[in-house]
A and B are shown apart, each in its own frame.
Chain A
């Protein structure tokens, strides 16, 4: 796999995982902190977003604090039913991500809704339609989010 970022990009990405200033010219401030020009910071960010190295740049909103609800849930799906259950679960627009994993609990998905009540209703519907118990694993606490790159 070819590397689609260089050392300066890596330091920029690492820097921007620790936060971004709220001021008139925040990109200029970041540029000054890293010894780059403002144009360089903006152009690198544009490039990294365009080529998919960054999925987003901006404010990361906390769904639960805005009244929204989010959970991670798992199912123990019999192999023979896997395809059918995948179809049922994926059909819910509230299901954002769904992964098959190598465990007895073999289907793991993230459900996001605008209210906690909608979340409960969605999980109940999934139980009813699949006939399987939903292991609901909402986060109780969240620790530091971020990944540091080797330059």
Chain B
């Protein structure tokens, strides 16, 4: 089954967070007037079909002391990008890792990895580790630092995403 009306109700009820009570799924079920078995089954199903990426905690990197972050961008062979993305994405200091399209000639990078460190030296060291890991598949890279936050809001539309 794909995304359905019950899923939409559950999503709307929980997109701000899961209740911090002993039986959170029961609380959601009560709020929506649904049997708790249905709510739990739909959570399972949505997790399985990927509508829910995962249930868990989203840390604020800055508050955790990781105040230096860089958007590292890499030019790797397209044929290898999934394999390399999996490896880079699992590094403990990488929060997000994506394959994105190139825009030649202005933009020749196809792999993005957000790295987070407690100092600028940390970030340089992390980039060095990625360089070593990618080896000959690193055809070029750059790191973009944010120099100013121009806008930061939550997502107010019907759908939400952690990014």
Contacts and interface: CB of A to CB of B under 8 A. Distances in A.
Interface of A: 1, 3-5, 12-13, 16-20, 22-28, 38, 42, 45-46, 48-49, 51-63, 65-68, 70, 72, 74, 76, 86, 89-90, 93-105, 107-110, 112-114, 135-149
A42 B100 contact: no
Given A97-B151, A145-B89, A59 B22 contact: no
Contacts of A59: 11, 14-15, 18, 43, 46, 52, 54-55
Contacts of A20: 18, 54-56
Considering the complex of A and B, which 10 residue pairs feature the smallest CB-CB distances, nearest first? A143-B89, A68-B159, A58-B18, A16-B57, A148-B92, A98-B151, A144-B89, A98-B150, A20-B55, A58-B17
B159 A56 contact: no
Contacts of B43: 22, 59
Contacts of B148: 99-100
Contacts of B40: 22-23
A16 B24 CA distance: 15
A9 to B, nearest CB: 10
Given A68-B159, A141-B99, A61 B53 contact: yes
Contacts of A70: 161, 163
A53 B59 contact: yes
* Majority DSSP secondary structure for residues of B touching A: mixed
Contacts, number: 254
Contacts of A24: 23, 25-26
A13 B63 CA distance: 13
Interface residues of B, number: 82
B125 interface: no
Contact of B155 (A49, A57, A96): A96
A7 B25 CA distance: 28
Given A101-B144, A108-B144, A54 B67 contact: no
Interface of B: 3, 7-8, 11, 14-18, 20-26, 40, 43-44, 46-47, 49-61, 63-67, 71, 81-82, 85-86, 88-90, 92-101, 103, 106-107, 116, 142, 144-163
Given A102-B145, A139-B99, A56 B162 contact: yes
A140 B8 CA distance: 25
A68 B159 CA distance: 6
